[in-house]
Amino acid sequence: MTDSIRGTIGEDLMNAQATARFYSINGGNLTRMGIELAVTGNTGINLLNANGVGLFEMNFDLEQGISGRISMGGYDMSAGTIMSAINGMSTYKTSRDILNQGFSGDRAAAMRMLASYAADETDERFEQLMNGDAEFTIEEGDGNAKTEQDENGRISMRIDSQEGTNGDLLTGIALIHEAFRNGLDDGETGQQQETAESVIHHTIAAQMVGQGYGMSSLSDSLKDEIDILNSEGGIQKLAEHAVENYDWSADYWKLTKNGDLINDGSGYLKDEMGMYVNADGSRTTEITDQTIGAEGIETGLLNILNGGTSNTSYDSYSDEQIASVQALMYGAGMQSTSGDMREVRWNTGELNNSNLDRVIGSNSIVMDYGSSVAAPVFMNAFDDDSNTVLFGGNPQEIGNTLVGIPENSRSRFIDYTIAKADFYGTTSNIASDLSGLGISQIFQGADGYEDKQHRGTDIVGERGQELLSMYSGEVVDNATRDSSGNTAVIEYGFRFEGFFYTTGIQAQYMHLDEKSPLRVGTTVQPNSVVGKMGNTGFVKPEPSLTNPDGGTHLHYQLMSNTPWHSSDSEIWDIYNDRRDVFLNQIGAPSTSDWTTDSTDTLNSYSEYYENFYYNTNNMFDYLD
């Protein structure tokens, strides 16, 4: 019977215990009846009266409740005891429902605790889990928990497994904590408030666990939080404790533009643009089953440094690999709990704050992991060096750069530099046939536009003429819009080891005669046909029955894939160097020549894009 209600807390636990005591009058045959009730949903007892005369037959059914039939007498039992036993029946019914939904072991115990906590948030999360509108998993990790919500509103909760005989109770406390999280980024203030509320409620739950199962079932940190809760001004103190000691921020290893890794709370790899980096080469706003890294900052770092893998378990790594990664973390000034190497924790208590924003430098990373670190980290670490080799021009500077590449990284560096050289060395004109092409309007101030700026180059020619991608890249948009007509956008760059190296520049082809044949997400090469010159969307003169080719032209513009317009913004600078290298190679004006007036962000050609648009002058001098 104990196992069938384990995890239950509070009033539900007391009522369930009353039901258990009620059963015990049947000759102590508690185990058989408890199992029978939990498995079949029905059991019964026969009660002799005090004088041994008569029979009271009582049936317990999880669906129908308690029913009785007096045959020859009755049994003298208080009404309060019977009512407590009746109330306890619902606890057993909930337990059976949990088991029937496939929950077992620690997950079942945690679900019982969630069901019995009796708060609106926990009741709602319990129903979501029972109905399949949310999921809850227990996995190996560093003792963390995380809640995420996808674009469809589905909740996913992941809780690291808890060791010891009371691990199921600790898991239940963690599940109650996560029930007060919505899985969304609510901003700094919102995240702090949510974390404080979660900690307050998990502490109340921990106190209820201590009352029902003994304080020895709790960790020292939970006992300390209970002491805070029960002190004068305890709720406010506990809220302050939560903000100071729990990670309420985003959770990832942040990849900087120079290849450094910054600890931001957990173990998944995210770039400075705020995108998760995936092992299949893609970048997404949400964690996927391909996201490089893993839950837990140490497990995640092991994945990032040893092949750029996704969710490889901690136990898969050797002692030597773990010792090497821990050395990097300690070298960055990070601190852990003491104990066996495989048992240390990095996100416990005050260590959360002290370890956040610690930087593992790219030099340290490539010195030991140059041949195995995830390709995006490698590319960022050696971006400047490869540019020096390709564009430096000074033989001595190039030689010094090559000598400075760690031996374990040299072969990979050469492959990377060759891939970049191929990108810059293999180009195309805007069209295979340049005859008849000309420039009708350049990037310039112009009336007739909402922001008084024509943000690209208009190339005129014959309708139906094939237009080509000038560089390799990835197709990021292919759509039909009111103002720009049939439009395709290519982000210029190249692939290295399956990962896309972006120049930070996108090229937009507008007013195509038909929708582009290119599929979003595919890689294109120079000379790939983007589409045909046309006059769809807003053009002048408008096409008519008498002039069906009116307004035929290509509007070509370069633009940034950054969300900010100001050169003073931190995000502006992420790919600033890459952009300038690219623009210098194609002869376009550098970033210092781009307007940065934040009032000029509108683009009358496309409602879809509101990012910064770049100067394309001098790119098409060969058409003049």
Tell me the pLDDT tens digit for each residue of 98-145. 988 989 889 999 999 999 998 889 999 999 999 988 998 887 765 677
Question: Which residues pair with residue 512 across a beta bridge?
Answer: 486, 533
Question: Hey, which bits of 265-410 come out as E strands?
Answer: 269-271, 276-277, 283-284, 359-360
Sheet with 65-70: strands ordered across = 42-48, 55-61, 65-70
CB 259 within 8 A of CB 377: yes
Residue 165: pLDDT above 70?
yes
Structure tokens at 136: 């809850």
Amino acid at 124: E
The SS3 of residue 320 is helix
Cα 618 from Cα 503, distance rounded (Å): 19
Q: Where does residue 480 rank: exposed (0-12), middle (13-18), buried (19+ CB within 10 A)? A: middle
Cα 455 from Cα 167, distance rounded (Å): 61
CB 360 within 8 A of CB 261: yes
For 303-315, what is the mean pLDDT? 94
Q: 405-439, pLDDT tens digit by residue?
A: 999 999 999 999 999 999 998 888 888 888 777 77
Q: 484-539, pLDDT tens digit by residue?
A: 899 999 999 999 999 989 888 888 899 999 999 999 989 999 999 999 999 998 88
Q: 347-371, pLDDT tens digit by residue?
A: 766 666 777 788 898 889 999 999 9
Question: Hey, which bits of 473-514 come out as E strands?
Answer: 473-481, 485-496, 499-512
22 vs 401, more confident = 401
> pLDDT-based confidence at 591, cuts 50/70/90?
low
Taking CA atoms, 137 is separated from 111, 161, 166, 408, in Å, by 11, 9, 18, 39
Structure tokens at 141: 């990790």
The SS3 of residue 611 is coil
Ordered DSSP codes for 552-579: -BEEEEEEESSS---TTSTGGGTTHHHH
Q: 189-236, pLDDT tens digit by residue?
A: 677 788 888 889 999 999 999 999 999 998 888 898 999 999 988 888
CB 302 within 8 A of CB 322: yes
> pLDDT-based confidence at 615, cuts 50/70/90?
low
CB 302 within 8 A of CB 312: yes
Look at the block and give the residue holding tokens 């239940």: 172
Q: Is the dihedral of CA 261, 266, 269, 270 positive or negative?
A: negative
Residue 80: pLDDT above 50?
no
Of all residues in the chain, the percent with pLDDT exceeding 90 is 32
Which pLDDT value is given to residue 613?
A: 56
Q: 5-20, pLDDT tens digit by residue?
A: 899 998 888 877 766 6
Which pLDDT value is given to residue 154?
A: 84
Which pLDDT value is given to residue 186?
A: 64
Return phi, psi of residue 530, to 5°: -85, -35
For 318-336, what is the mean pLDDT? 91
Which residue ranges form the domains of the chain, and what is each CATH number? Answer: 29-245 (no CATH), 252-380 (no CATH), 452-586 (2.70.70.10)
Cα 19 from Cα 41, distance rounded (Å): 14
Return phi, psi of residue 383, to 5°: -60, -50
621 vs 550, more confident = 550
Pairing of strands 444-445, 438-441: unpaired
Structure tokens at 520: 């979003």
The SS3 of residue 427 is coil
Pairing of strands 269-271, 253-255: parallel
Structure tokens at 233: 């001004």
Q: Is the dihedral of CA 181, 183, 186, 191 positive or negative?
A: positive
HSE value, Cβ hemisphere, 13 Å, CA-based, for 96:
18
Which pLDDT value is given to residue 74?
A: 34
Q: Where does residue 619 rank: exposed (0-12), middle (13-18), buried (19+ CB within 10 A)? A: buried
Q: 29-59, pLDDT tens digit by residue?
A: 444 444 444 445 555 544 433 333 334 445 5
CA proximity to 555, closest of 420, 452, 463, 459: 459
